[in-house]
Amino acid sequence: MRRPGAGGPGRSHSMRHVSSATPRVPERGTPWSTGGEGAMREQSASLGEADVEDFPGPAGGETTWHLPADTERQERLWMAFPRDYHRMGANSWELSGARRAWARVAHAVMDHEPVTLLVDPADRQVVHTYVDPLVPVVPLAMDNPFLRLSGPAFTVGGVDRETGQHRLGMVDWAFNGFGRRPGIEYRLDDVAGGTIAELTGARRQLSLLVNEGGAYVTDGEGTVIASEAVLLDPARNPGWTRAHVEAEFARYTDVRKVIWLPGGLTHDAGPRGLGGQVDQLVAFASPTVVLLHWQENPSHPDHEVSARALEILQGATDARGRTLNVAAVVAPLAEADARAQVSWSYVNVLPVNGAVVVPSFDDPHDEGAHQLLEAAYPGRTVVPVPAHRLYRRGVGVRHVGLPQPSRRP
């Protein structure tokens, strides 16, 4: 089993195994639901110059925890139901619109694999007016419903001799509201990892790295494409360098190669964005095959972003020394909606068993993008869902679902 090592001066890494016993579900105002665990991690995560030489490399142990690709077989998808929170809408009509958008993703997934929904206890009476009553509900107070961004990452260990199934693990990254962005509440979100670990029996490992599931994508074979804008953000990880982040990935997972991109799309770096999520720019369709958001308009700031990413990816190799095949996915034609400038993306997709849930924008480029995605994910049904209301809240289709990998050998 991968074991935590010393974290250098002023830091500690801890690993906790959580049983599959009935979870303690926190309510608002309890010590657990106020994000105490996350606050302690935030206080100890800052690295100074003196820490660089002492930062540990990959920890040894009896188990290497595999970080699965999005395309690997899944047991279920975890989602969170939007609560009454200003980022979801300024009024009841906008809140209802957000809930319908999340429900569309859940219903698209349900035809292919189970969905479990985390729901604020105050919303238990309304959730099934939006979502099929057959969807299991776990009462849990949370701030943000984009679970891929604020939640943990599942990992898979070796086969357990007693059960004949793979062990299930989890890296519970720290989360601080996208670098404490104004208007983002997040103190309740740190509870999600512990609750999901208890429900699934996953072996939970706590990381000091402030990370978000949109800040990296993996091929499932030891390679990660990561966002400097997020992972090296001083408001998220003060004092951390590329080497620190790479060591943290290697400590808890089988990642052995990180390809760094400057960030995500231009709009995501602005005041309405989340600071540079790289999964709006790239996706691994399969090992060595990278889908790249391509902005054709040379006057659009994302044109330069796409070109720079292409240059980096064409010069990179993966963890096995292979060159990457980059497929350009032309961006939606629309550059603004009725409210503001937009940076919609077709590469922010949600693969599930036998299908891939993809965004639809009622855009002239939708059809061509969906055909390309169908070719990139052979054997999967392309399931479009309207994505406008997701993007108005700063997120894409991939961000609202957290896949739990299958334990089957």
Q: Are 79 and 115 in contact (CB under 8 A)?
A: yes
What gap in Å lies between CA 298 and CA 305, rounded to an integer?
11
What gap in Å lies between CA 310 and CA 317, rounded to an integer?
13
Please indicate, yes or no, if residue 49 is contained in any of the structural domains.
Answer: no
- Please give the DSSP secondary-structure letter assigned to residue 161: T
| CA atoms within 13 A of residue 206's CA, in its CB half-sphere | 22
Phi and psi for 109 in degrees, rounded to 5?
-75, -35
Please indicate, yes or no, if residue 170 is contained in any of the structural domains.
Answer: yes
The tokens for 4 are 């935590």
Q: Are 351 and 286 in contact (CB under 8 A)?
A: no
Specify the CATH number for the domain of residue 270.
3.75.10.10
Q: Which residues contact 306 (CB under 8 A, 6 or more apart)?
A: 281, 292, 293, 294, 295, 328, 331
Radius of gyration in angstroms for the set of CA atoms belonging to the chain, rounded to a whole number: 20
Please indicate, yes or no, if residue 163 is contained in any of the structural domains.
Answer: yes
Please indicate, yes or no, if residue 1 is contained in any of the structural domains.
Answer: no
Report CA torsion sign: 223, 149, 96, 74.
positive
Range of the domain at 206: 14-44+62-405
Please indicate, yes or no, if residue 51 is contained in any of the structural domains.
Answer: no
* Digitized pLDDT (tens) for each residue of the chain, 409 residues in all: 333 333 332 333 433 333 333 333 333 222 223 344 655 565 555 554 334 333 343 444 457 999 999 999 999 999 999 998 767 776 888 999 999 999 999 999 999 999 999 999 999 999 999 999 999 999 999 999 999 999 999 999 999 999 999 999 999 999 999 999 998 999 999 889 999 999 999 999 999 999 999 999 999 999 999 999 999 999 999 999 999 999 999 999 999 999 999 999 999 988 888 999 999 999 999 999 999 999 999 999 999 999 999 999 999 999 999 999 999 999 999 987 766 778 899 999 999 999 999 999 999 999 999 999 999 999 999 999 999 999 999 999 999 999 999 999 9
**Total domains present in the chain:** 1
Q: Are 232 and 248 in contact (CB under 8 A)?
A: no
- In the chain, DSSP finds a helix count (H) and a strand count (E) of 10, 17
Please indicate, yes or no, if residue 104 is contained in any of the structural domains.
Answer: yes
What gap in Å lies between CA 382 and CA 209, rounded to an integer?
34
* pTM for this model (two decimals): 0.87
